A = this chain, B = another copy of it.
Amino acid sequence: MNRRIRVFAPATVANLGPGFDVLGLALSRPGDELEAELSDQPGVEIVEVTGDGGALSRDPQKNVVGRAAADVLQRAHASHGVRLWLHKQMPLASGLGSSGASSAAAAVAVNELLGQPLSQAEVVLSAMEGERAASGTPHADNVAPSVMGGIVLVRSYDPFETIALPVPENLHIAVVHPHCKVSTAEARRLVKGRNYGLDAIVPNLGSIAALVAALYRSDLPLLGRSIDDRLIEPLRATLIPGFGKVKTAALDAGALGCSIAGSGPSVFAFAADDGGAQRIGAAMQRAFKDAAHLDSDLFTGKVSTEGARVV
């Protein structure tokens, strides 16, 4: 009963380009770690949370890992409970799927401890229950790639179906996290209840379809041209100081495409090699500094084809 495991779950870029709520990818880093062990006490106990600066609750009803873990226990009709230690290793409210990575780690860890009674799709659904606790709406474009790895399309929420898309060999990403906060809930309020005309919808339909074609063709220039979002980016860009100049700097530095990561404030750009990602990332950091006096962190790397896993 006392086997304790440690799970790593990757950060993610969701709302990928034109794919609001349906398209996300897993980053190779950063990510969250979570330790878990079975307990004779039913239910979920959060023993410790580190790395959050005291921001997160240890009440399992109010922390995403508690909700995700409880959902796995319930789906698996488990007689045990679990004890969890959450180690936040990535910024909160960054747009990089912090709550999604924690939720994914918890769902994967508890399923692992129970002997994997749930399918991967069920694990994603349990992780979504964590997201529901964080943002009020159960979206899957963070948790699905964090659980599954790679680039994941959520074809449908009802019935729930995800599709793993191909990851082009040479695709590199630069993600810049400026030191300012945009809450997911605030970013959602900005778009919720908003209505859109076909003049904005049709370009997004064309772009997301082209983005999928680009992944199957390993056509990076086409992938870059497909990072074109007329629905959400124009609204959320207003929440990110300096966004316009940062995007211009990325494209001027050779980025294939550039947009907001998740609900922001992080901004991602695609490149065709590691040197390009480094150069583009540095240009974006300078632009955040020059345009908005913001310090920032830079992450570069490839899409992680591995999802949440025991380490």
Q: Is the CB of A204 within 8 A of B205?
A: yes
Chain B neighbourhood of A18, CB < 8 A: 205
A22's contact among B22, B163, B205, by CB below 8 Å, is which? B205
* CB-based contact A213/B216 at 8 Å: yes
Contact of A68 with B by CB under 8 A: no
Measured CA separation A209–B163 after assembly (Å): 10
Report which of B19, B155, B228 forms a contact with A225, defined as CB distance below 8 A.
Answer: B155
Interface of A (DSSP majority class): mixed
CA distance A192 to B202 in the complex (A): 12
A156 and B205 in contact (CB under 8 A), knowing A195-B195, A198-B191, A216-B216?
A: no
Interface residues of A in 144-161 (CB under 8 A from B): 153-157, 161
Q: Are A194 and B198 in contact (CB under 8 A)?
A: yes
Alpha-carbon distance A227/B164, docked complex (angstroms):
19
Q: Is A211 an interface residue (CB 8 A)?
A: yes
A155→B18 CA distance, assembly (Å): 12
Contact at A208–B205, with CB atoms within 8 Å? yes
